[in-house]
C-alpha cells in the first residue's frame, strides 16, 4: 500500500474531468428529447428545482465519501461499513451496463462523423439510420473504435489521460455548441422552439398526474446527467486533494452541466420546430432529424461534422468516467496494473456491447420481459439500479457514515466554512430518499 495514490494535478483539472463525466449523451441527445416530451419549459423548471434540492446534496455526499476514503467506490463503501460494500457493487454493475450501451451510441456518432466527412449530405436520414443501426457488422466496428479510444485514455492514468483530455474537450464543446445554437436560433420559425423551451404552457396540464410525470422525468434526468448514484463521483473524488473545496465544485459541476443541456436544447429544439419535426423522436432524434436540419442549412455539412464531433467529445469524457469506475476497482482491489485493468474491462464491455448493438437488428426479436437487450439495459439502469444506488447513497451517508463525518470532510477539517448544514442534513436523511422512493415506486405503476 506504499504506492502513492494518483491525484488531479489541479482543481481546474478535476472540475473539467468531473464536468466531462456529467456532460454527455445525456445532455445533448437525451435532455432535448425528454424536455420535448415533457412540456419543454415546465420540465426545465422542475429540472432546475430538483437539481438544486436533491442533485447538489447527493453530489456533495458522493464526493465527500470518495475524498474521505481515497478509494474506489466499492472499497470506499466497505471502509465506511463493511456491510455496505454492496452499494459500491451496484454502482460498479450499473457503470458496466451503462457503458455497454453508451459505446453503441458513441459508435453511431463516429459513423456520422465519418459519413459527413465523405459525403456532403444524408439524403434519406430515416432510412439511412435504420439501415445502419440494424446491420450486424458495421456498428460493431464503430463501437469497437469508440471503446478502444476510451481504453487508451484510461490507460494513460488520471492526471495524464482523463484530466488532460477533459481540459481540452470541455471548453471546445462549449464553443461548438454555442455556434450551433446560434445557427439554430437564426432559423426562420426558431422562436416557436424558444418559446416552447422557456415559457411554461399549462394547457396540457390537466391533473396532478401530469405534473407528477414531468417531475419524475426531471428527477431521472438529473441523476443520469450528473452521473449520480453510481460511484462515479466517489471514484473521481478519491483522486481529489485534501484541500479542495468540495461544495464549490459541487456547484460548478451542475452549473456547467445544466448550461450545456440548455445550450443543447437551444441547438436542437428551435431547429426541430422551424422544420416542423418531432421533438420526441427518442434515440433517433439526433440521427434522423438533424441531418434534415443540416441539409437545409448553409454550411450544413461543416456544421454536421462540428456537431457530431462535439457529441463525440461529450460521450467520450463520460465513457472515460464509466470505464474508470470499473477499472479503478481492479486497480485498487485486485492490484492489477492500470493497463491490464483498462484493457480487461473494455474487453468485457465490448462483448456486452456487441449484444446491445445486435438488438437493433439481428437480435431484435430476442426479448426478455417484452424488451430487447437495449431497452432491457436502459430500463435496468435508469429505473432500477440508479434509483436504488441514489437512495442507498443517501442512507449510507445520512445514517451509516453520519452527517457530522461528512461535514468534517466537506470543510476540509475546518479549512472552509459551510453554511447549509441543516439543509444538507435534512435533504440527505429525509427529502432525497423520500423523493427517490417515490420515483422508484411510480415507475413500476
Ligand atoms: N452523465 C453522463 C451523460 O449525461 C452519463 C454518465 C457518465 C453516467 N457516468 C455516469 C450516468 C454514471 C450515470 C452514472 O451522458
pLDDT in tens, the chain (445 residues): 334 566 766 777 777 778 888 999 999 888 987 888 888 898 999 899 889 888 999 999 999 999 898 888 888 888 899 998 888 888 888 889 999 999 999 999 999 999 999 998 888 888 899 899 899 999 999 999 999 999 998 888 765 666 777 777 778 888 878 888 888 888 888 899 899 899 888 877 776 667 777 877 788 788 889 988 787 888 888 888 888 888 888 888 899 899 999 998 998 888 888 878 777 666 677 787 788 778 877 788 987 898 888 889 889 889 988 898 888 878 877 788 889 999 999 999 999 999 999 999 888 888 888 888 988 998 788 777 887 888 899 999 999 999 999 998 888 777 788 888 889 999 999 999 998 887 667 655 5
**C-beta 238 within 6 A of ligand 1:** no
**C-beta 230 within 6 A of ligand 1:** yes
**C-beta 25 within 6 A of ligand 1:** yes
**C-beta 232 within 6 A of ligand 1:** yes
Ligand 1 atom nearest to CA at 315: 15
Nearest CA to ligand 1 atom 8: 227
All cell numbers assigned to 13: 483539472
Grid look-up 456498428 returns 139
**C-beta 98 within 6 A of ligand 1:** yes
**C-beta 96 within 6 A of ligand 1:** no
Ligand 1 center from residue 413 Cα (angstroms):
30
**C-beta 258 within 6 A of ligand 1:** no
Nearest CA to ligand 1 atom 10: 227
Grid look-up 429540472 returns 47
Ligand 1 center from residue 228 Cα (angstroms):
8
Ligand 1 atom nearest to CA at 223: 13
Nearest CA to ligand 1 atom 7: 318
The pTM score is 0.87
Residue 271 and residue 300 in contact, taking contact as beta carbons nearer than 8 Å: no
**C-beta 184 within 6 A of ligand 1:** no
Ligand 1 pocket mutation pick from 225, 312, 383 by most atoms within 8 angstroms of CB: 225
- Name, in order, each residue with C-beta under 8 angstroms of 2's C-beta and a sequence gap of 6 or more: none
Amino acid at each position: 500500500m506504499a504506492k502513492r495514490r494518483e491525484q488531479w494535478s489541479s482543481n481546474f483539472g478535476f472540475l473539467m474531468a468531473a464536468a466531462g463525466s456529467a456532460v454527455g449523451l445525456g445532455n445533448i441527445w437525451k435532455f432535448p428529447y425528454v424536455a420535448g416530451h415533457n412540456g419543454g419549459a415546465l420540465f426545465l423548471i422542475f429540472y432546475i428545482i430538483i437539481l438544486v434540492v436533491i442533485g447538489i446534496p447527493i453530489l456533495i455526499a458522493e464526493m465527500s465519501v470518495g475524498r474521505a476514503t481515497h478509494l474506489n467506490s466499492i472499497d470506499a463503501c466497505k471502509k465506511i461499513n463493511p456491510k455496505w460494500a454492496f452499494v459500491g457493487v451496484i454502482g460498479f454493475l450499473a457503470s458496466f451496463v451503462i457503458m455497454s450501451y453508451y459505446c453503441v451510441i458513441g459508435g453511431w456518432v463516429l459513423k456520422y462523423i465519418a459519413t459527413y466527412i465523405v459525403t456532403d449530405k444524408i439524403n434519406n436520414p430515416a432510412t439511412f439510420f435504420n439501415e445502419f443501426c440494424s446491420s450486424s457488422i458495421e456498428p460493431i466496428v464503430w463501437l469497437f473504435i469508440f471503446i478502444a479510444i476510451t481504453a487508451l485514455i484510461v490507460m494513460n492514468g488520471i492526471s495524464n489521460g482523463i484530466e488532460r483530455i477533459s481540459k481540452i474537450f470541455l471548453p471546445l464543446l462549449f464553443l461548438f455548441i454555442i455556434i450551433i445554437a446560434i445557427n439554430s436560433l437564426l432559423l426562420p420559425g426558431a422562436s416557436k422552439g424558444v418559446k416552447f423551451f422557456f415559457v411554461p404552457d399549462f394547457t396540457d396540464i390537466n391533473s396532478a398526474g401530469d405534473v407528477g410525470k414531468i417531475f419524475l422525468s426531471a428527477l431521472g434526468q438529473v441523476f443520469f446527467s450528473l452521473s449520480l448514484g453510481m460511484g462515479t463521483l466517489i471514484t473521481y473524488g478519491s483522486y481529489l486533494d485534501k484541500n479542495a473545496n468540495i461544495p464549490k465544485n459541487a456547484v460548478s459541476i451542475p452549473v456547467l452541466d445544466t448550461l450545456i443541456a440548455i445550450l443543447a436544447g437551444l441547438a436542437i429544439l428551435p431547429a426541430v420546430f422551424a422544420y416542423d419535426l418531432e421533438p420526441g423522436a427518442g434515440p433517433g432524434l439526433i440521427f434522423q432529424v438533424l441531418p434534415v436540419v443540416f441539409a437545409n442549412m448553409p454550411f450544413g455539412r461543416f456544421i454536421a461534422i462540428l456537431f457530431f464531433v462535439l457529441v463525440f467529445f461529450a460521450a467520450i469524457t463520460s465513457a472515460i468516467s464509466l470505464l474508470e469506475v470499473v477499472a479503478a476497482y481492479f486497480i485498487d482491489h485486485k492490484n492489477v496494473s492500470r493497463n491490464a485493468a483498462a484493457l480487461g474491462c473494455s474487453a468485457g464491455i465490448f462483448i456486452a456491447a456487441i449484444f446491445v448493438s445486435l438488438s437493433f437488428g439481428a437480435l431484435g426479436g430476442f426479448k426478455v420481459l417484452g424488451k430487447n437487450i437495449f431497452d432491457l439495459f436502459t430500463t435496468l439502469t435508469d429505473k432500477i439500479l440508479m434509483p436504488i444506488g441514489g437512495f442507498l447513497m443517501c442512507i449510507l451517508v445520512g445514517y451509516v457514515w453520519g452527517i457530522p463525518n461528512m461535514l468534517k470532510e466537506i470543510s476540509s477539517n475546518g479549512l472552509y466554512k459551510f453554511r447549509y448544514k441543516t439543509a444538507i442534513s435534512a435533504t440527505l436523511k429525509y427529502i432525497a430518499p423520500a423523493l427517490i422512493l417515490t420515483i422508484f415506486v411510480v415507475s413500476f405503476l
